[in-house]
Amino acid sequence: MENSQNLWPQGVKKTKQRASVLAILENAEKPLTALDICARREKDGDTAVWPSTVYRVLELFIHKGLVLKTNVRNNDMAVYELNRLQHKHYAVCMNCHKLIALENCPMDTFIPQLPDGEFQVQGHYLEIFGICQDCRPTENNPQ
C-alpha cells in the first residue's frame, strides 16, 4: 500500500474521494480548476461528484503542501496542480485565460533584501498576463 502511493501525505486518512483527486492531479498535463477535476472524475465513472467535496479535498492537500493553488487574474476560478518539487509560474492570457508555463523563475537570480534577517522566505507568487498567440489579432483574424 505504501509503495503504491508514495505521494500520500502522512497523517491524512486515505479515502476514495481523496485518492481520486490526487490521481487526477498526478496525471494532469496542466493546472486544473475544481470543476475540471469534477468532470474528470465523472468521466472516470465516479457518480455524484460535488464541487464542494473536491474543494474540501483540495484545501486539505494545500494545507499538507501537496497541492498548489494559483488564482487566475480576471477569472474567479483558481487552478490547482500537484506541488512537484520544482515550482512553476504561468503567464495568463487575459482573453481566453489559457496558462502558459514559464521555463524559469525570477527568484532563481533574485535575492530578496529584507530588513529582518530572521525572516525566512518560503514561497512567492508571480503574475504575468498578456495575450496568447491564439488570441493575438493577425491579418487573417482581425479583432
Residue 106 Cβ vs Zn ion, minimum distance, rounded to whole Å: 7
Please select the residue that binds Zn ion; options are 57, 67, 72, 93, rule is CB under 5 A. Answer: 93
In the list 7, 19, 96, 102, the residue contacting Zn ion (rule: CB under 5 A) is 96
Distances (CA, A) of 73 to 38, 103, 105, 130: 22, 20, 19, 11
Residue 95 burial (C-beta neighbours within 10 Å; 0-12, 13-18, 19+)? middle
- Using DSSP's 3-state secondary structure scheme, residue 101 falls into strand
Name which of 69 and 98 has its Cβ closer to Zn ion.
98
State yes or no: residue 105 binds Zn ion (CB under 5 A): yes
Candidates 25-33, 35-43, 53-61, 100-108: pick the segment binding Zn ion (CB under 5 A).
100-108
60 or 94, CB closer to Zn ion?
94
- Shortest Å distance, C-beta 83 to Zn ion: 13
Answer yes or no whether residue 107 interacts with Zn ion by CB under 5 A. yes
Task: Report the alpha-carbon distance of residue 98 to residue 90 in Å, rounded.
Answer: 9
Alpha-carbon distance 123 to 107, whole Å? Answer: 10
- What torsion do the CA atoms of 66, 89, 125, 8 make, to the nearest 10 degrees? 0
List residues near Zn ion by CB under 5 A.
Answer: 93, 95-96, 98, 105, 107, 132, 135
